[in-house]
Amino acid sequence: MTDHEVDILAIGAGPANLALAVAIEESAAPRLAERTLLLEQHPDVKWQRNLLLPWARSQVSFLKDLVTLRNPRSRFSFLNFLYERRRLDEFVNLSTFNPYRWELSEYQQWVAHSLEHVRVRYDARCARIEPRRTADGRLIGWTVTLADGDTIDCRDLVIGTGRDPHIPEVFRNLPADKVIHSTEYCTRIAGVAADRPIRPVVVGGAQSAAEMFLAVHSDLPQSTPLMVMRSIGLQNYQTSKFVNELFFPSFVDEFYNCPPEVRGRILEEVHLTNYAGLAPPFLDELYSMLYQQRMLGQGRSAVRSMTEVAAARMDGDEIVLELRDRKTGKLDSVRCDLVLLGTGYQQRMPAIVQQLGDRLGLTELAVSRRYRLDLGESAWGAVYLQGVNEATHGISDTLISVLAHRSQDIVDDIVDRRHVTTGVVPESRTA
């Protein structure tokens, strides 16, 4: 085992913590950058690595990259990435604000490689987080133990791992090799025999479910896919420019200062701007595919709306799904070989945060406007949470729209805290 010590440790090298790394490098605190480390559990950086489908596009403008809205002159911008890769002319010629998802993924890996002071450690999976305290109980930092046994001590911890996948209860008793969540799609589907007549059922009615439904047609060319959703049908994201102003970084202040009941009402009203919808061009493409099948009498695929999965069980090697028609209440059975879940993510805090809260004895996980977990005024070490604060910071919190400004908020908070504690050295930590 090896012990390390840093000032800031960020768990996860996704877009949130990469944006933070850039903000730290561009701050007026170079020593802070040199003592910042990002942990990535994979051997590389990939954005939505298991939905990196060649035709999938981002629904967000490339100008909402890791840095541009905070510092348009930054060398870490998406446009500079294209320029350095000699692809700027070709991208401009596409006449789009929405790059391919794989292109944004390449951009984020380029950012990770372009950092000069902040370091990224790959193949580093966090196994446990323990608070470090002085003899009198004052919280001064954290000890993170990695899966390989290494330990890293830090003063400030930033958790940017995203939410945990949501596996509905009805599917939890099925064998693990029969169920693929969208967060595992590309890796797991590659292990399914492509030359067999597979019967996959895709569950869900939003973007990830629809992307798997379309992708499985080519990934498993002998398959006969069925898509099942509770809603009345696939529908567009709400894309009104007036409503989209809720994704402005400036709206975070307005939302945060609202009473909790008002926040709840706003989130309900803007649900379709981010959830349970599809990008309009993709929706048209999917409908055209199904139209061609029907008109040409091919009948390979099917979509069942207003339908929910009431039960799931195994019968030999087959999965039996009991489907309930929400219009009539009638039940019928469907036999299949594979279930693909586009069921999104848990709305509660991710397990890594909940476990840390339990170790700290926190009954409530409250976050400040600048994303710092409330640990009391005496705490010298801090925890910042990225991408899990929708209830307090608005619907944009899980998206890349606010990354640049959010990273500046966190850096400002870190630097301000260090100004307050300059010259104050906590006692040595207890064993």
Distance CA 106, CA 54 (A): 13
Tell me, what's the pLDDT at 336?
Answer: 98
Predicted TM-score (pTM) above 0.85: yes
Q: Mind listing the pLDDT tens digit of every residue in the chain (431 residues)?
A: 566 999 999 999 999 999 999 999 999 888 999 999 999 999 999 999 999 999 999 989 999 999 999 999 999 999 999 999 999 999 999 999 999 999 999 999 999 999 999 999 999 999 999 999 999 889 999 999 999 999 999 999 999 999 999 999 999 999 999 999 999 999 999 999 999 999 999 999 999 999 999 999 999 999 999 999 999 999 988 878 888 888 899 999 999 999 999 999 999 988 877 777 888 889 999 999 999 999 999 889 999 999 999 999 999 999 999 999 999 999 999 999 999 999 999 989 999 999 999 999 998 999 999 999 999 888 999 999 999 999 999 999 988 999 999 999 999 999 999 887 655 555 544 33
**Cβ contact 322:310 at 8 Å:** yes
Distance CA 153, CA 428 (A): 13
Helix ranges restricted to H, 194-279: 207-219, 251-256, 260-269
CA neighbor of 340 nearest in space, from 218, 190, 228, 173: 228
Tell me, what's the pLDDT at 236?
Answer: 86
Going along the chain from its start, the domains and CATH numbers come out as: 3-164+346-420 (3.50.50.60), 169-237+280-341 (3.50.50.60)
